[in-house]
């Protein structure tokens, strides 16, 4: 088993836990999420392996929007991310 691959996934899961703690502390998220909602955030298909990392607040706003708006906003955020990372 690839140790680097395993530790990278663990790092992303730890970042997501820390993100939730910051969002709860800053009142960006009002209530502690249920285990099911938090599991959805942890294993969100768009960021589980390689990123981009998103905060729990951004995840909640993304999954509560209609599908058309999610696609457009996701595409724009990805384009901006590619521009700034180069």
Question: Model-level pTM greater than 0.85?
Answer: no
pLDDT tens for the chain, 86 residues: list them. Answer: 555 566 777 888 888 899 899 999 999 888 899 998 898 888 887 777 666 778 888 888 878 766 666 677 777 888 888 887 76
Per domain, the residue ranges of the chain are 3-85
> 42: buried, middle or exposed (CB in 10 Å: 19+, 13-18, 0-12)?
middle
The helix (run of H) or strand (run of E) holding residue 32 is: none
């Amino acid at each position: 088993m690839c140790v680097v691959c395993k530790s990278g996934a663990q790092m992303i899961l730890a970042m997501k836990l820390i993100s939730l703690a910051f969002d709860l502390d800053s009142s960006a998220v009002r209530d502690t999420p249920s285990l099911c909602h938090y599991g959805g955030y942890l294993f969100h298909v768009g960021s589980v392996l390689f990123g981009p990392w998103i905060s729990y607040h951004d995840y909640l706003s993304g999954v509560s929007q209609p599908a058309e708006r999610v696609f457009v906003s996701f595409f724009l955020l990805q384009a901006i991310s590619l521009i700034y990372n180069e």
